[in-house]
Amino acid sequence: MVDAAVRTSQKTEGTSPRIDVKRVEDLLLGTWADTRRTAREMIKDSAFWRDDSLGKDDHRERVLSQLHLLVQNKAVHRAFPKRFGGEENNGANISGFEELVAADPSLQIKAGVQWGLFGSAVLQLGTQEHHDKWLPGIMDLSITGAFAMTEIGHGSDVAAVGTTATFDAETDEFIINTPFRGATKEYLGNAALHGIAATVFAQLITNGVNHGVHCFYVPLRGEDGNDLPGIGREDDGLKGGLNGIDNGRLSFDHVRVPRTNLLNKYGDVDENGVYTSSIDSPGRRFFTMLGTLVQGRVSLDGAASWGSALGLYIAITYATQRRQFDGADGQEVVLLDYGKHQRRLLPRLATTYAQIFAHDEFLQKFDGVFSGRTDTPDDREDLETLAAALKPLSTWHALDTLQEAREACGGAGFMFENRLVGLRQDLDIYVTFEGDNNVLLQLVGKRLLTDFAKQFKDKDAAALAKYAVGQTAGKVFHGAGLRRFGQNIADFGSTARSVENGLRAEQQHELLADRVQQMVADIAGRLRPAGKDKVLGEKLFNENQADLIEAARAHGELLQWEAFTDAVNSIPDEDTRQVLTWLRDLFGLQLIEKHLAWHIINGRLSTQRAAAVSSYIDRLCLRLRPHALDLVNAFGYEPEHVRAPIASGIEQQRQDEARAYYADLEASGEAPVSEKALKKAAKK
């Protein structure tokens, strides 16, 4: 049944096209769609589902048992070498792993700790000797491990960790030590209970020289099941989410491990304590080692995007069934027919689409680098920058979306059985997992500044002066009202239609790209006076840090818009392409709306055109309203994945029952007359 507001929308916009849901689902599932479908089929089994009735301890044991089920289903082997039964398919590995978020985020993250961090450290930083010795046990879960990088005193600043690994030539061993409380390894999955080993990041010291952070394989527990001498282990206890994971802290009191336990792909020490490395620069060596572990950020970007998709599926399905307040036709109105409700959910739906499309391109880049097909220093640097740009946006968006979805479902959204509060709790930590989001965006900002500076390398004063004039001319031109958009020409008819005609794909891209370029140029100009003065440079950088992070965020949003546009352009079906174009426009215009002040101040939009952007967004929401269910159904989730009663059709049954009751009562002639109707009749 089509509600009145939907009929009005269709009448206003003409015959409404319909999307090919299956085609859009294929597009969203991306390059490794088959792997995603295999993973989704596996987690239909209720043995993988989060059990909300369990306390912390039982939840932890359930998740451990689920890891064993993953092994039995051969769901953990995809990234590992073929000689160990793996597939060496990195893109498929991440794709399948991300899908576990719909089963239980604790399962997803604990699997990530075991195989994506602990196992990957051995695989990526170790050599064949280490692979032969430990990978089979890591893969079959006979060796459960922790990834001991983060310290309570140094979170994102890995280069400054306090843990030391000092070589003792007399015994041919490294001595792993925690010299002070701030060097305690903290928040580690598998550390409180289940881990029997850890990959420990520590400062490698030999012959009195510190060669920087390296990774060591350190046993934690002996054959008898007890912790080895010198191992300190504590339980982090209850957390704000992900309580199916046994997070804990580790410390080391002069723990000795064989010299060969150094994972020595990028740096080695011989029996005399002589250090060698294929990478001469300590800084480049450090970033190369960390870069091999970028898949954590890749997977968090995807898992957060699909977590948002799941929340929107629940909220939008419910909003198309739940009714509230009488409309003009005397019938209660479906929630999603209200303009405000559309504004709450549909722009977030558009953003989620953008993120999923961007993630697939990101994942292709990751697979190319890790497979060796496109593994160059530049490719790795690009991959690191992509990870640092996209992971913050998707994880922040997930928290915002799940909170808004919860509120949009009212009291029903607050019930744990409807998934939204649990997902919101579990995904909270994603914004600081694998690097705090603001720190990551700062890395992106620095890369943007570096790339900007490269444009002027070896340029003379005349070239720089010419650029400065161009910048000034550009600002004057934009300040004249963007003549290229015809903003100062009188608009005829609807101002919203004039925006539609003036801010289509090419102009959206220009506004989004120009904002990034101008922000970076402005920041670079403000930093230039420092020259080689490090003290002044630090002061100026600190003063511009917030702007730099905002520029990096704008860069990430531009990447998402471009990925969305690439996806739209790949669709052969005209109706589907039309609807996704509207959705892409909604994504682009809400980004422009979010930064309207910047666009006006910097002369990119006239005040008249800027004022009309919001009304056109409302128009787009109304235009997309008839397609909302199709767009969330295209996520491909089945009832076993959703498991939220309010999205199961039960609300539609309740509403139909209520409407049938009142219809029958009215037909019986026994319906009571309202006091308001009596008073109205008396006045006549």
Q: What angle do CA 382, 78, 214 make, to 5 degrees?
A: 55
Q: How many CA atoms lie within 13 A of 194 on its CB side?
A: 29
Q: Which residues contact 518 (CB under 8 A, 6 or more apart)?
A: 602
Distance (Å, whole) CA 380 – CA 387: 10
CA distances from 101 to 29, 61, 248, 398, 427 (A): 15, 18, 22, 12, 9
**Tokens standing for residue 210:** 């510190």
Q: Tell me, what's the pLDDT at 21?
A: 97
Distance (Å, whole) CA 567 – CA 576: 11
Q: Tell me, what's the pLDDT at 7?
A: 38
Residue 494 has pLDDT above 60, yes or no: no
Beta bridge partners, 257, equal 174
Identify whether the C-beta of residue 176 lies closer than 8 Å to the C-beta of residue 202. yes
Q: Tell me, what's the pLDDT at 155?
A: 81
Segment 22-45, tens digit of pLDDT:
999 999 999 999 999 999 999 999
Identify whether the C-beta of residue 427 lies closer than 8 Å to the C-beta of residue 304. yes
Confidence of residue 384 (pLDDT cuts 50, 70, 90): very high
pLDDT mean over 455-461: 64
Q: Tell me, what's the pLDDT at 378?
A: 87
Residue 497 has pLDDT above 70, yes or no: no
Regarding the domain with residue range 1-19+294-670, which homologous superfamily does it belong to in the CATH classification?
Answer: Butyryl-CoA Dehydrogenase, subunit A, domain 3 (1.20.140.10)
Residue 430 has pLDDT above 90, yes or no: yes
Chain centroid to CA 192: 27
Q: Tell me, what's the pLDDT at 197?
A: 98
Residue 464 has pLDDT above 90, yes or no: no
What is the widest separation between alpha-carbon atoms in the chain? 108
For the chain, what are the domain ranges? Answer: 1-19+294-670, 149-281
Segment 55-106, tens digit of pLDDT:
999 999 999 999 999 999 999 999 999 999 999 999 999 999 999 999 999 9
Mean pLDDT of the chain: 90
Domain 149-281 = CATH 2.40.110.10: yes
* CA-closest candidate to residue 107, choices 61, 162, 53, 153: 61
* CA-closest candidate to residue 349, choices 386, 380, 305, 291: 305
Q: Tell me, what's the pLDDT at 683?
A: 81
Segment 273-322, tens digit of pLDDT:
999 999 999 988 998 888 877 989 999 999 999 999 999 999 999 999 99
Radius of gyration of the chain (CA): 28
Distance (Å, whole) CA 165 – CA 200: 9
Q: Tell me, what's the pLDDT at 466?
A: 53
Chain centroid to CA 319: 25
* CA-closest candidate to residue 507, choices 482, 490, 488: 482
pLDDT mean over 544-548: 94
Distance (Å, whole) CA 641 – CA 639: 5
- Has 186 been annotated as catalytic? no
Distance (Å, whole) CA 324 – CA 295: 45
Task: Return the percentage of the chain with pLDDT > 70, whole number.
Answer: 91
Segment 610-640, tens digit of pLDDT:
889 999 999 999 999 999 999 999 999 999 9
Alpha-helical segments (H) within 16-146: 21-29, 33-42, 56-72, 90-98, 105-111, 119-125, 128-140
Residue 467 has pLDDT above 60, yes or no: no
* CA-closest candidate to residue 286, choices 213, 231, 360, 226: 213
pTM over the 0.95 mark: no
Q: Tell me, what's the pLDDT at 462?
A: 58
Distance (Å, whole) CA 296 – CA 90: 12
Alpha-helical segments (H) within 188-338: 282-291, 295-319
Confidence of residue 358 (pLDDT cuts 50, 70, 90): very high
Residue written as tokens 């340029």?
459
Highest mean pLDDT, choosing among 229-233, 462-466, 660-664: 229-233
Identify whether the C-beta of residue 436 lies closer than 8 Å to the C-beta of residue 156. yes
Confidence of residue 499 (pLDDT cuts 50, 70, 90): low
Q: Which helix (H) or strand (E) holds 665?
A: helix 650-668
Q: Tell me, what's the pLDDT at 357?
A: 98
Q: Tell me, what's the pLDDT at 190?
A: 97
Q: Tell me, what's the pLDDT at 459?
A: 59
CA distances from 10 to 70, 318, 349 (A): 47, 21, 20
Alpha-helical segments (H) within 531-573: 534-569
Residue 486 has pLDDT above 90, yes or no: no
Distance (Å, whole) CA 433 – CA 428: 9
Contacts of range 231-235, beta carbons closer than 8 Å, 24 or more positions apart = 231/255, 232/178, 232/184, 233/191, 233/192, 234/192, 235/192, 235/193
Q: Tell me, what's the pLDDT at 468?
A: 47
Q: What is the DSSP letter of 231?
A: E
Highest mean pLDDT, choosing among 9-18, 281-290, 397-406: 397-406
- Among residues 434, 550, 557, 651, the one annotated as catalytic is 434
Segment 118-173, tens digit of pLDDT:
999 999 999 999 999 999 999 999 999 999 999 999 887 899 999 999 999 999 99
